[in-house]
Structure 1
Amino acid sequence: MNSTWADRDFLVLESIVRRTDESGHEVGLDEIEQDTDLSPEDVQRAIKALDSDGGYIRVSTPNAGGHIDFVLSATSKARREVGAWPTPENITSELVDRLKQLANDENAGEDTRTRARRMLDAVADGGGAVLTGVLTSVLTTQMGL
């Protein structure tokens, strides 16, 4: 059996998140078809998989023929999956990137560059896993993710 994630489901999920963020409204399947160049049948299959199995989206009640006509919203899980919301790993990565920039920024003061290098050393010495763990806890409990 071939995986449908990269070639179908993820493309549909990206379209849904982008369109719901842009409009604040439900998304018609014809809009998703335009974004992804997928057939109506493939979009329907992806929508059903993302709704029932993945918990990524909320959809309209199926019509008499069993087809879903609209995607009502994307969940926080969907937003994280496509990179629209933070994950502990990408926050850690962004922090490390910013510390590297500061450590090498000749316009920053020497104290700032030294502190940035020390923080990078701490992350490299295993602190990255600790930081990711802390961020996971914060995102999970305080933000309800």
Structure 2
Amino acid sequence: MDETWTSRDLPVLTAIVEVFERTGRVMRPTEIVEQSGLEADQVEAALRALEGEEPPFITKLERRASGGISLVGKPTGHARRAVGAWPTPESIADRLVSALDEAADREPDPERKGWLRKTAAYLGNAGRDLAIEIGATAINRQMGM
């Protein structure tokens, strides 16, 4: 079986988020075809694949009597995180490690530079779970949780 996430499903999901961001409304599959550059049958197949995901990627799919998809609902937070429009604990952890590396590059004090490098190396490797936990805490605080 061929892998479809990167070649079909993710581009369709990205197009759904982009169309919704631009228009603020639910969309027809033809709009997703235009945004993604994929063929209509590929978009239809991706929508069928994305439909059953839990948590859901889209709020609803409306179908014609023939079974074809006529309307695609708005993207969920799960969809926005999957395409990188919203942060995940992992993406925040990656940004934290990058920020520490960049701070080390700019730091003139050799001792502080060393500590920044060591911290970045730890959080990027053995301490990755801790960095992800920090990312999750940051997201939860931003959401008021």
Bin the TM-score by the shorter chain. Answer: 0.7 to 0.9
Change (3 A) 1:42 1:4: same
Q: Which residue in 2 is equivalent to 1:134?
A: 134
Report whether the alignment pairs 1:122 with 2:123. Answer: no
Count of residues in Structure 1 that have an aligned counterpart in Structure 2: 141
SS in 2 for 1:132: helix
Change (3 A) 1:56 1:94: same
Q: Which residue in 2 is equivalent to 1:95?
A: 96
Partner amino acid for 1:83? G
Q: Which residue in 1 is equivalent to 2:12?
A: 12
% identical equivalent positions: 32
TM-score normalised by structure 1 residue count: 0.79
Unmatched tracts of structure 1, length 5 or more: none
Partner amino acid for 2:42? D
* Conservation of the 8 A alpha-carbon contact between 1:96 and 1:120: no
Deviation at 1:14, TM superposition (A): 0.8
SS in 2 for 1:103: helix
Q: Aligned runs of 1:1-145 on 2, under 5 Å?
A: 1-53=1-53, 55-105=56-106, 110=109, 114=112, 117-125=114-122, 126-139=126-139, 143=143
What is the distance in 2 between the residues matched to 1:129 and 1:117?
A: 22
Change (3 A) 1:62 1:134: same
SS in 2 for 1:58: coil
What is the distance in 2 between the residues matched to 1:98 and 1:140?
A: 21
Deviation at 1:140, TM superposition (A): 5.9
Deviation at 1:91, TM superposition (A): 0.9
Deviation at 1:30, TM superposition (A): 0.7
